[in-house]
């Protein structure tokens, strides 16, 4: 018996990185997984990874999944994604909002259209998809919405600012802070049902992925300072499978929640000792 037997999950940003790991683990635990992203085939994007590859790996391991191209910044595309999931599997009772966008540009130079598009992907998409699947979760009597956040949601405080280096992460941090506030607001609204959990989880440290390598946040996929992507996948699985009363409204970090529930014995690398990673709202 898998932890997600009989469940149907949509995972956005499933073509590579954390999203791919979540999709593979959910399928291994028995879920039927709808893998969504913009990159259908290898070569469609400059970064390695594709929906076709993710689904192929899931099926090769004995799991069940389909690939659906979707632009989560667009409402019509989001609704088409949910409808495709329903047509294929009947309902959706797990949603993982993993897709994210950032350009790492200082605010003074940030093109307005890119700023708006980033908010559309990182905040508006999770709202639209959540709104679309909530009726299924109420009808089936169970549900989990897991939002993938970031430690950048915690601001630098009031200063003084000793580090004068411009990071270009203002927009990304702002969207993730908004996502975490959305998480707990929606968790409160849905608490009346008692069986739907809305949560957010961030990596305890930077996860080496094609994207973080591209942005030079890590030295490479094998950077020993990084957190294995499997930790985020396990944390998402925990939040999607534990009873709602145990996790609803949690905004936490991967290794923190895994240690709390006994899914890992100790943190990897710097783990929960990284700056800001002690943050959690229960």
Nearest to 124 by CA among 168, 169, 170, 78: 78
DSSP calls for 35-84? EEES--STTSSSSS--HHHHHHHHHHTT-EEEEEE--TTSHHHHHHHHHH
Q: What is the C-alpha separation between 217 and 199, in angstroms, rounded?
A: 25
Tokens of 270: 């710097």
42: its two tokens: 């290898």
- Looking at 172, 231, 253, 279, which residue is catalytic? 172
The span from the first CA to the last CA of the chain, in angstroms, equals 29
Whether 269 contacts 227, CB under 8 Å: yes
Residue 269 Rama label (left phi>0; alpha psi -120 to 50; beta): left
| DSSP 8-state secondary structure symbol assigned to residue 141 | T
- Assess contact for 227 and 204: CB atoms under 8 A: yes
Active site residue 104: no
The catalytic site residues sit at 172
């Amino acid at each position: 018996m898998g932890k997600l037997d009989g469940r149907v999950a949509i995972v956005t940003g499933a073509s590579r990185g954390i999203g791919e790991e979540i999709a593979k683990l959910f399928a291994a635990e028995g879920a039927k997984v709808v893998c969504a992203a913009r990159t259908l085939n290898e070569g469609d994007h400059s970064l390695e990874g594709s929906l076709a590859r993710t689904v192929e790996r899931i099926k090769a391991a004995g799991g069940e999944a389909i690939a659906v191209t979707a632009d989560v910044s667009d409402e019509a595309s989001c609704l088409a994604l949910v409808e495709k999931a329903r047509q294929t599997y009947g309902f959706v009772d797990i949603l993982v909002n993993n897709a994210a966008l950032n350009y790492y540009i200082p605010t003074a130079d940030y093109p307005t259209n890119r700023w708006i598009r980033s908010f559309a992907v990182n905040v508006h998409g999770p709202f639209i998809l959540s709104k679309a699947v909530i009726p299924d979760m109420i009808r089936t009597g169970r549900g989990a919405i897991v939002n993938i956040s970031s430690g950048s949601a915690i601001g630098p405080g009031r200063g003084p600012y000793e580090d004068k280096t411009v990071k270009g992460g203002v927009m990304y941090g702002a969207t993730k802070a908004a996502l975490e506030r959305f998480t707990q607001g929606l968790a409160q609204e849905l608490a009346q049902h008692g069986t739907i959990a809305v949560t957010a989880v961030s990596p305890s440290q930077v996860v080496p992925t094609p994207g973080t390598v591209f942005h030079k946040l890590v030295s490479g996929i094998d950077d020993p300072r990084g957190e294995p992507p499997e930790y985020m996948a396990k944390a998402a699985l925990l939040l999607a499978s534990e009873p709602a009363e145990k996790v609803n409204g949690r905004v936490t970090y991967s290794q923190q929640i895994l240690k709390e529930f006994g899914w890992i014995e100790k943190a990897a690398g710097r783990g929960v000792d990284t700056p800001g990673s002690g943050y959690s709202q229960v």
